[in-house]
Amino acid sequence: MSDIGGVRRLHGWLTGVREAIPLLGGYIPVAISFGLISAQAGFSTAETLAISALIYAGASQFLFVGMIASGSPLWLTVAMTLLINVRHVVYAPNIAPWLPKSRWWPWLMHGLTDQIFALAHSRLPQLSESQRVGWFFGAAMLAWLSWIAGSLLGAVAGEWLTSRWPLLGEVMPFALPALFLVLIVPRFTSRRWAAALSVSVAAALVCTLVGLTNIGIPLAAACGALCFYMVRLPETLGTDKGTTKERRPS
């Protein structure tokens, strides 16, 4: 029995690693940029790696090194870093119903980034309980290690890499919108959901275009949720009636 359990956990782990591979297209180029900017801001390679390994939150890391380099007060830098990451508070409760009992979850929460949440929110309900811890461990660990490796590469050879293959840094990040599109499309189950999700996408896009990337995610999600509650459209795309208990929006 324990052998079967072990095989399932290993299978879950490998599935998690395999399904997180598309994330690397977005993680590594951004991590290289972070490593490069951190080095240019005067941080050593070891310090850059420590920031990437311990804070592990893209946008807030850029803000952290940028504010320190520009001479901002430390308390303000820390406060702004945490403020940007506040959006993460809704992630764990959303996937909690799909997390079987395990002492590993508190530790694994370090890996709950925007991207891992999006992947886990879609995939965990489809996996068997015995595979979920392994799946999350595999996916989160691959993403975390790729982020650290990318930061190292950026700190050591960022300038050389970006000058030699400038197009690669532009093309690979498209893996992220492609992945998120694939994760979100199955949720267009009714006109109501389609309208709310479209509002959320459009609001986030506008926020990014006007330079409000960090506040853009929670703000756009709130706009989408508001649309969901306020707009009543005929349910013609599917049978989903909104927040029915038997069909969680997944």
What distance separates the 2 farthest-apart alpha carbons in the chain?
Answer: 59
Structure tokens at 65: 């090194």
Over its C-alpha atoms, the chain yields an Rg (Å, rounded) of: 20
CB 114 within 8 A of CB 217: yes
Is residue 208 close enough to count as binding other proteins by CB under 8 A?
Answer: yes
* Minimum CB distance to other proteins, residue 160 (Å): 18
Residues 59-88 that bind other proteins (CB under 8 A): 60, 64, 68, 74-75, 77-78, 81-82, 85-88
| Of residues 26, 35, 87, 86, the one with CA closest to residue 65 | 35
| Integer Cα distance of 88 and 97 in angstroms | 17
Contacts of 134 (CB under 8 A, 6+ apart): 8, 9, 10, 11, 12, 13, 15, 16
Instruction: Select the span of 1-9, 128-136, 215-223, 230-238 touching other proteins (CB under 8 A).
Output: 215-223
Is residue 19 close enough to count as binding other proteins by CB under 8 A?
Answer: yes
Q: CA 79 from chain center: how many Å?
A: 21
* Minimum CB distance to other proteins, residue 201 (Å): 4
* Minimum CB distance to other proteins, residue 183 (Å): 6
Q: Which of 66, 218, 235, 237 binds other proteins (CB under 8 A)?
A: 218
Residues 28-57 that bind other proteins (CB under 8 A): 43-44, 47, 50-51, 54-57
Is residue 91 close enough to count as binding other proteins by CB under 8 A?
Answer: yes
Residues 109-168 that bind other proteins (CB under 8 A): 109-110, 112, 114-115, 117-118, 121-122, 167
Q: Hey, what's the torsion of the CAs at 185, 191, 192, 196, to 10 degrees? A: 50
Which string of x and - marks every residue 166-205 that binds other proteins (by CB under 8 A)? Answer: -x-xxxxxxxxxxxxxxxxx-x-----x--xxx-xxxxxx
Instruction: Select the span of 127-135, 142-150, 157-165, 223-231 touching other proteins (CB under 8 A).
Output: 223-231
Number of residues near other proteins (by CB under 8 A): 97
* Minimum CB distance to other proteins, residue 34 (Å): 14
Helix (H/G/I), strand (E/B), else coil: 33: helix
* Minimum CB distance to other proteins, residue 219 (Å): 8
CB count, 10 Å around CB of 239?
9
| Of residues 208, 181, 213, 165, the one with CA closest to residue 28 | 165
